[in-house]
């Protein structure tokens, strides 16, 4: 997965990954932990500009569920609101933070510390991210 690109993301997850890119901007790396806590903690939501929101919603499912909303005019996203499980939200956060760490090495320490703090590493198998091939000498 490449930071900021939705090419490798299946259509059903575009909204979620688009919002995760906005929720974790590289320039705000020191705040990543509080951003993710706002989503996964008791507050259960966070939003911002340009026109996005992720918040916990009441669900009959046993797993926490989040509504992810984007302003269609601002983000060219379709559909406007989609629900995802906590497992899907955690997987997307992990994928996006890993991609950010690869694209912005100066922010990698912040990204990896959040992945570890929230136990995102290995907690959900990633459907989209694959580690870069390592050259062996």
Give the domain extent around 69: 11-117
Assess if residue 103 is contained within a domain.
Answer: yes
Assess if residue 129 is contained within a domain.
Answer: no
Q: How many domains does the chain have?
A: 1
Assess if residue 136 is contained within a domain.
Answer: no
Assess if residue 80 is contained within a domain.
Answer: yes
Contact 107, 100 (CB under 8 A): yes
Buried b / exposed e over 92-105, threshold 16 CB at 10 Å, is bbbbbbbbbbbbee
Between residues 130 and 41, which one has the greater pLDDT? 41
Assess if residue 2 is contained within a domain.
Answer: no
Assess if residue 43 is contained within a domain.
Answer: yes
- Say which range, 32-46, 83-97, 112-126, has the weakest mean pLDDT: 112-126
Average pLDDT, the chain: 80
pLDDT band per the 50, 70, 90 thresholds, residue 72: low
Q: pLDDT at residue 45 above 50?
A: yes
Q: pLDDT at residue 40 above 80?
A: yes
Contact 75, 52 (CB under 8 A): yes
pTM: 0.81
Q: pLDDT at residue 134 above 80?
A: no
Report the percent of the chain where pLDDT is more than 70: 80
Assess if residue 3 is contained within a domain.
Answer: no
Contact 68, 53 (CB under 8 A): yes
- 69: closest CA among 86, 47, 97, 39? 47
Assess if residue 1 is contained within a domain.
Answer: no
């Amino acid at each position: 997965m490449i930071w900021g690109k939705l090419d490798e993301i299946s259509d059903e997850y575009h909204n979620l990954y688009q919002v995760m890119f906005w929720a974790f901007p590289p320039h705000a790396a020191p705040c990543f932990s509080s951003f993710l806590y706002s989503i996964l903690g008791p507050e259960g939501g966070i939003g911002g500009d340009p026109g996005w929101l992720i918040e916990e919603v009441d669900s009959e499912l046993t797993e926490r569920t989040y509504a992810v909303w984007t302003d269609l005019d601002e983000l060219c996203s379709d559909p406007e609101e989609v629900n995802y499980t906590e497992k899907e939200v955690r997987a997307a956060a992990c994928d996006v933070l890993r991609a950010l760490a690869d694209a912005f090495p100066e922010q990698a320490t912040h990204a990896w510390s959040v992945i570890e703090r929230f136990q995102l590493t290995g907690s959900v198998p990633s459907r989209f991210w694959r580690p870069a091939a390592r050259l062996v000498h």
